Amino acid sequence: MAKKRARKAVEEEEEEVQTPAAPTGFTPPLTRDSDVPVTKKLKKKWTNKQRVLVFGSRGIGYRERHLMENLRTLMPHSRREVKKQKRDDLRVINEIAEMKNCNKCIYFEMKKKKDFYMWISQVPNGPSIKFLVLNIHTMGELKMTGNCLRGARPLLSFDPQFNEPHWAIMKELFIQTFGIPNYHPRSQPFHDHVYTFTIVDDKIWFRNYEILGADGKLSEIGPRFVLNPIKVFAGSFGGETLWQNPNYMSPNLMRSLVKKNMMGKYLQRRQQKDWNAKRGPAGMIGDPTNEIFQTEANDD
């Protein structure tokens, strides 16, 4: 059921072609001093220069803020940024990202202190997607018992449904954003955790598991969340709509429907009462056949 994408596999093959002198069976040293600078050789190997800007707007709640922090710890190729003011347009984000030299961006915003939205975008001109985020559980919850190396490259696992067109854009963006580039200076050599993206009920469910053994024993690290896709745009934070989710109902709409339902109950009761009043009181209706026996008395 799972489709696995190891970014490393593709790149490794590229490497093999370019530098045939690179040693196979290279095992990294078991200790690495933080003072030791990154060698030029490794720097040369790091060709996939992805940098993700992770930040949010003002007015984000505590749980959502922790989710943002969790994503920052899990992605060593991320850059942080201060909160964006709500008066600024979304297009401003493109300029902020350019200043930070980032080519991807994950932007969070919260509306009415209730609805939490996430934007993922390829910054200069690329596609961008807006999601509604639900069911957030952070890494700090005590039920999440797993742990992983900080900066270890994850295995990314996608549902087979991700091959359909609009899902495929999301899949590619996820791979480039959540996947850590090969030979990134802050990355660690081992693969000890796996991300799963599954489509259930037309929403994307995200899970992060620690790999305990080669036989597939897993333990959840967190965070976990559900993404409800809203729209896919051609440009970054705007532009032409490539795809719109037909099943998506904005949380505002849901709330107003619920309220209307409640109102509907009251209105219905009122109507019922009025109609009953119109019918009049239930009186005694005599037998209509009695009229036959009502004759006029002749007074002689």
Partner 1 sequence: MKGTVKNFNLDEDPIHNDFKREMIFYRQAQQAVLDGYERLEKLERPTLRPDDYFAEMAKSDVHMQKVRKRLMNKKAGQEMSEKVKKIREIKKFGKRVQIEREQQKHKEKREMLEKVKQFRKGKTDNIDFLSNKPLREQRNRVDGRKTNLRRAMKDRKYGKGGMRRNEKRNNSNDFDDEPRHGGGFQKGGNKFKAGKGGKGGKGGKIHAAKIRPGKRRRQQMKGR
Residue 99 C-beta: closest distance to partner 1, Å: 28
Does 286 bind partner 1 (CB under 8 A)? Our answer is: no
- CB–CB of 94/208 below 8 Å? no
Backbone φ and ψ for 65, nearest 5 degrees, come out as -65, -40
How would you label 142-176 residue by residue, b for 16+ Cβ within 10 Å and e otherwise?
Answer: eebebebeebbbbbbbbbebbeeeebebbbebbeb
Does 235 bind partner 1 (CB under 8 A)? Our answer is: no
Of 67, 180, 194, 227, the residue at the interface with partner 1 (CB under 8 A) is 194
Of 12, 88, 89, 95, the residue at the interface with partner 1 (CB under 8 A) is 12
Of 48, 134, 166, 205, the residue at the interface with partner 1 (CB under 8 A) is 205
Does 297 bind partner 1 (CB under 8 A)? Our answer is: no
E strand or H helix that includes residue 183: none
Q: For residue 264, how far is the Cα from the chain centroid?
A: 34
Of 21, 24, 112, 285, the residue at the interface with partner 1 (CB under 8 A) is 24
How would you label 256-269 residue by residue, b for 16+ Cβ within 10 Å and e otherwise?
Answer: eeeeeeeeeeeeee
Total residues binding partner 1 (CB under 8 A)? 51
Tokens 């201060």, residue? 82
Does 191 bind partner 1 (CB under 8 A)? Our answer is: yes
Pairing of strands 224-235, 238-244: antiparallel
Measured distance CA(79)–CA(92) in Å, rounded: 17
Residue 119 vs 225, nearer CB to partner 1: 225
Which residues pair with residue 241 across a beta bridge? 233
Residue 124 vs 140, nearer CB to partner 1: 140
* Residue 16: both structure tokens together: 């093999």
Does 10 bind partner 1 (CB under 8 A)? Our answer is: no
Measured distance CA(252)–CA(131) in Å, rounded: 15
Measured distance CA(55)–CA(106) in Å, rounded: 7
Q: Which of residues 159-178 bind partner 1 (CB under 8 A)?
A: 159
Of 18, 28, 252, 265, the residue at the interface with partner 1 (CB under 8 A) is 28
Residue 99 vs 200, nearer CB to partner 1: 200
Residue 152 C-beta: closest distance to partner 1, Å: 7
Of 19, 47, 73, 163, the residue at the interface with partner 1 (CB under 8 A) is 73
* Residue 59: both structure tokens together: 């007015």
Mark the segment that binds partner 1 (CB under 8 A) among 82-90, 103-111, 193-201, 227-235: 193-201
Residues 6+ apart with CB under 8 A from 254: none
Amino acid at 264: G
Chain residues in the site for partner 1 (CB under 8 A)? 1-2, 4, 6, 8-9, 12, 24-28, 30-32, 73-74, 139-140, 142, 144-145, 147-152, 155-157, 159, 188-192, 194, 196, 198, 200-201, 205, 207, 209, 211, 213-214, 216, 218, 221
